[in-house]
Chain A
């Protein structure tokens, strides 16, 4: 049984989501309303999937996602946010979240996203694809030395089609690829961004550390 933890500061919403998950056959191992509590609970109850709201009273959502990524074993994080704060979503995904869904998504969309997250797939909504595309463009425009992550032409093509609302199957048909290949391309774009983010964090930490001496 897939173990799910729900993190949201709104009790009504939290309970509704937990009920939907339980009805769909998931084991809801914890429901918490704060970020710090969420990190502690995740270490104790070891969920497979964390459904995370980005607006929490005590911590920024991206930071919660980053701390969850350090938990052993790291749970997969699905961001479920009413937030129109696109920066927050992008930061959370760079910090390790593997999917993003708006709260207004239907129950079916939500359950499907949890299932895919549990299976290890990235849940790429068109909105997230747009954010990731934008982030690669920003990095490309910013780095002159070109040591930042780059998208291949194929990856760009796939990501743009995702952002335009095509399903993986439609993309596979249009580009004459297998469904799995499309999925891999999408996964790669996210993986490279998360890796770059970790490298940047380490570089930042080293620079700060050297300065402190």
Chain B
């Protein structure tokens, strides 16, 4: 993750600054009781500061072993304190030899693996710190430990947030790029392939015979392709009913919709589209594959209405009631069932000579 880079650089700066602070303390105290050992510890700290600055800058090295080693080296420097400071250790105002430098691995763990890892590292370092300042008669001062915990948890939390933000940003950028690419494709397809398919369809029909069949196939592909490139994004959890209905558009089926989205809960839209498909299948079954059908989707006050009309012979008067009485409504029954579950209504009207019309109304 690119966002981690600045965190690691910040930790490196912190290590250098606290190394300088530890060295200043060492100089002020003239090396405590064991100057040689004291400056040796400062030397190890300097080497390790340089090493971690280099190693943490390489993403491939930021793993468990390096983090564990980081904690070990730091603990080693911390626990060398009694030997270096001798009887000065534990005196009021005296810090352990590495001083604030010990927070380095806590920050590293937190940035690498989040606030829990930060807390664990803080616990280890704080335990060492508390063990050093233990004194039989005095109350334990926990300020350092609390600060370590706070640093570990807060930095870990912020690092996690930053990582999530970066992931989200990355996804958004990818989606935008995909959308741009889709738009470009749609434009190209529109300007070339669709035009040719429409032309083939038109000329084929004029020439007749086998060419007419080719034209018909070209027409089907044109409708399918046109629908494919006209995907309309809808707010999550909802579906634009238009995109589901327009899939049925073909030379035989005309789909008419408003220019504005017809948003329905995704599930209701799916059920409604399935009911429309059942109605269209019914038209094909009863009136043949060449039968024409019209689908109209419209929004009313708090409702969405979809009507499916065919130009078949229509249902003779009384036949519908007869079929209903016999329980032979078949496909109509499945439409009624689906729609009733959504709290909607279905009306079936048949005018002799003007086909049959199924009208489905759903509350929105």
Q: Which A residues form the contact surface with B (CB < 8 A)? A: 9-10, 12-13, 16, 55, 82-87, 89-90, 103-104, 106-107, 125-127, 129-131, 133-135, 137-138, 160, 163-166, 170, 173-174
Q: Which B residues form the contact surface with A (CB < 8 A)? A: 190-191, 194-196, 198-199, 201-203, 205-206, 219, 222-223, 226-227, 229-230, 246, 251, 254-260, 292-294, 296-300, 307, 309, 311, 351, 354, 357
Contact call A137/B300, Cβ cutoff below 8 A: yes
Which residues of B sit under 8 angstroms from A163, Cβ to Cβ? 256, 294, 296, 298
Q: In whole angstroms, what is the CA distance A163 to B300 when docked?
A: 15
Contact call B219/A104, Cβ cutoff below 8 A: yes
Smallest CB–CB gap between A177 and chain B, Å? 15
Smallest CB–CB gap between A78 and chain B, Å? 16
14 contacts between A and B (CB under 8 A): A12-B199, A16-B202, A82-B195, A82-B198, A84-B226, A84-B246, A86-B259, A104-B222, A126-B254, A126-B294, A126-B296, A131-B256, A134-B299, A165-B254
Q: In whole angstroms, what is the CA distance A126 to B191 when docked?
A: 25
If over half of B's interface residues share one DSSP class (helix, strand or loop), that class is named, otherwise mixed; here it is: mixed
Contact call A174/B351, Cβ cutoff below 8 A: yes
Contact call B354/A170, Cβ cutoff below 8 A: yes
Contact call B199/A130, Cβ cutoff below 8 A: no
Q: In whole angstroms, what is the CA distance A83 to B260 when docked?
A: 16
Contact call B256/A85, Cβ cutoff below 8 A: no
In the complex, which of the residues B205, B258, B354 contacts A138, with contact meaning CB atoms closer than 8 Å?
Answer: B258
Minimal Cβ-Cβ distance residue in A for B193: A82
Minimal Cβ-Cβ distance residue in B for A88: B259
Contact call B259/A131, Cβ cutoff below 8 A: yes
If over half of A's interface residues share one DSSP class (helix, strand or loop), that class is named, otherwise mixed; here it is: helix
Contacts A104-B219, A164-B309; A84 near B202 (Cβ below 8 A): no
Contact call A165/B292, Cβ cutoff below 8 A: yes
Contacts A84-B226, A165-B311; A134 near B260 (Cβ below 8 A): yes
Q: A164-B309, A166-B354 are in contact. List 6 more A-B contacts (CB 8 A).
A: A13-B195, A103-B195, A104-B198, A135-B258, A163-B294, A173-B354
Which residues of B sit under 8 angstroms from A10, Cβ to Cβ? 191, 195, 199
Contact call B190/A165, Cβ cutoff below 8 A: no
Smallest CB–CB gap between A21 and chain B, Å? 13
Which residues of B sit under 8 angstroms from A82, Cβ to Cβ? 190, 194-195, 198, 222, 226
Contact call B202/A126, Cβ cutoff below 8 A: no
Smallest CB–CB gap between B147 and chain A, Å? 58
Contact call A87/B195, Cβ cutoff below 8 A: no
Which residues of B sit under 8 angstroms from A9, Cβ to Cβ? 191
